[in-house]
Amino acid sequence: MEGPARPDKIIEEIGGCGRYQIRISVVVHLIKSIAGFSILSTVIICSTPPWRCDDRIVLDNSTLCMILQNESEVNICPSEACVLTNDSKCSSFVFEGTLQTIVSEFGLVCGRDYIPSLIMTLQVAGLLAGNILAGQLSDLIGRKPPFFTSIILITVFNLVGFFSVSWVMFAVARIFVGIGSGFFLSTQYCLLSEFSLAKWRVWIVGFPSWPIEGCVFALCAWLIQDWRYIQLLTGIMGIPCLFAWFIIPESFRWYIGHDKTDKALEVINKVAKYNHRHEVELGHLMEKSEVKKYTVIDLFKSKTLIRNTILSIFNWMGLGLVSYGIKYGIQALSGNIFFNLFLFNLCGIPSKGIALWLQNRFGRRITAIICYTIVGISGFIVGVVQTVEAPNRDALTNGFALLAHIGITMAWGPVQTMTIELYPTVVRNIGFGTLSVMGRIGAMIVLS
């Protein structure tokens, strides 16, 4: 089922890891910033700033919630209390600080405090739907159309979110932002990997572009301090990304796997020319094969595929559950939310480098085991600290949550690389997309 050609041999003849491969990798990793900004922005956009009740009501016979003191009104309502001392429910709120979020915009506290979590879950549901659709579409119609569909969806619906007049409108926009991000995350690595030799895939997949972009996002969000303009920034960033259509070609491996030899040869020789190599002929590298459309069912066509798919499902669900649990749990950690987000992403940069070294030294599977061990131990300590009155409780929680984040960030590289290498070209994107769905299910479990 691998297909009619020896793609690695073709890549060697057209330059291996040459100028073209470097260019396409740089472009795709830069485009990833709009997906990263979109997913990470929910941490800030759905956060709850400190607040107080703003009702002007009598608490008892002599005290007002809002009192006049030295000719100015002073709020003496209990902090973040939905029910006041006379058992009346708070109906209006005042938010402190400069950060503007959907919570402060639409008053999503007290009886509506479930809405921010619901919106985060809906965005992950969009990611899940995007993974399913992109995984199937990219193996049916190619990698390039879903890849650029992702850019359009992320750009358009971030701009729709900017103009939202209600939390419902914003939630719908985030669903489609999630779908677009799911399209992108399901196609990017397969598109890059299919232009590279196996020995370079670790570097392509493991390059720490996501944490670098996360640090940039934390800085931008701190400077902007407004949920609407965070989305506007992301939408504007997406517009120039569309011009990458003229730089990123369709995967020649996909063309070969679907018996479109002429188009494959056109892409191959374009790469060869850019890498200053001679044009190649595919005749000695190809054999005629039956063209077939593949589906998710083909992931279970043999005992090996069944074993790999089932074990990978549990692997990806664990990734999603822990990753998104920590990522969206940053809101609950003590300290400044922007600094915490920056610090967590900053630590992801060297951890990606460590994961690269471990993969080259010990392989994908051993590296994943080491990462999960770090996550398990750190998570256990956080759980213990939260159940006992430990000294420096907040510092211990933040520290070991950060260590667990480092471990799970390291784990993504080997797991994604293994997934790409476990499946043959003709079902590679279906496999990657299907398993990405399992990761989103894990995320939805921890957010619900």
Q: What is the pLDDT along the chain (448 residues), one digit of tens a residue?
A: 444 456 677 887 777 778 888 889 899 999 999 999 999 999 999 998 888 877 665 545 444 455 444 445 555 566 777 776 666 777 778 888 889 999 999 988 888 888 998 999 899 889 888 888 887 788 788 889 999 999 999 999 999 999 999 999 999 999 999 999 999 988 887 788 888 877 777 777 678 888 899 999 999 999 999 999 999 999 999 999 999 999 999 988 888 878 788 888 888 888 888 888 877 766 555 554 455 667 778 888 888 888 888 988 888 888 888 887 887 778 777 778 899 889 888 988 888 888 888 887 888 889 989 999 998 999 888 888 878 776 777 888 888 888 988 888 888 888 888 887 888 877 777 787 788 778 878 877 777 6
Task: Say how far apart CA 49 and CA 93 lie, in whole Å.
Answer: 11
- The DSSP bridge pattern shows strands 51-53 and 93-95 to be antiparallel
DSSP string, 44-84: HHT----EEE----BSSSS-BSEEEETTEEEE-SPBT-SB-
Q: What is this structure's pTM?
A: 0.80
pLDDT recorded at residue 63 = 47
Identity of residue 201: R
- Between the CA of residue 48 and those of 113, 133, 330, what are the distances in Å? 9, 33, 12
**Residue 135 corresponds to which tokens in the numbers above?**
């995984």
Class of domain 7-48+112-447: mainly alpha
**Residue 318 corresponds to which tokens in the numbers above?**
């664990």
pLDDT recorded at residue 415 = 87
Reference 375, options 348, 357, 402; nearest CA is: 402
Adjacent-strand bridge partners of 58: 64
Reference 43, options 298, 339, 251, 297; nearest CA is: 339
The CATH 1.20.1250.20 portion of the chain extends over: 7-48+112-447
Task: Say how far apart CA 283 and CA 264 lie, in whole Å.
Answer: 12
Q: φ and ψ at 76, to 5 degrees?
A: -110, 15
Reference 446, options 354, 332, 343; nearest CA is: 332
Task: Say how far apart CA 228 and CA 133 lie, in whole Å.
Answer: 28
Cα radius of gyration (the chain): 25
Task: Say how far apart CA 329 and CA 337 lie, in whole Å.
Answer: 10
- Helices marked H in 194-302 — which ranges? 198-206, 209-224, 227-241, 252-257, 261-274
319: left (phi over 0), alpha (psi -120 to 50) or beta: alpha
Residues 6+ apart with CB under 8 A from 128: 178, 182, 437, 440, 441, 444
Count of CB atoms situated within 10 Å of the CB of 386: 11
pLDDT recorded at residue 151 = 95
What is residue 412's three-state secondary structure?
helix
CB 142 within 8 A of CB 254: yes
- Between the CA of residue 366 and those of 268, 411, 418, what are the distances in Å? 35, 10, 11
Reference 353, options 196, 216, 206; nearest CA is: 206
pLDDT recorded at residue 82 = 79
pLDDT recorded at residue 230 = 96
- The DSSP bridge pattern shows strands 93-95 and 66-69 to be unpaired
**Residue 19 corresponds to which tokens in the numbers above?**
């100028």
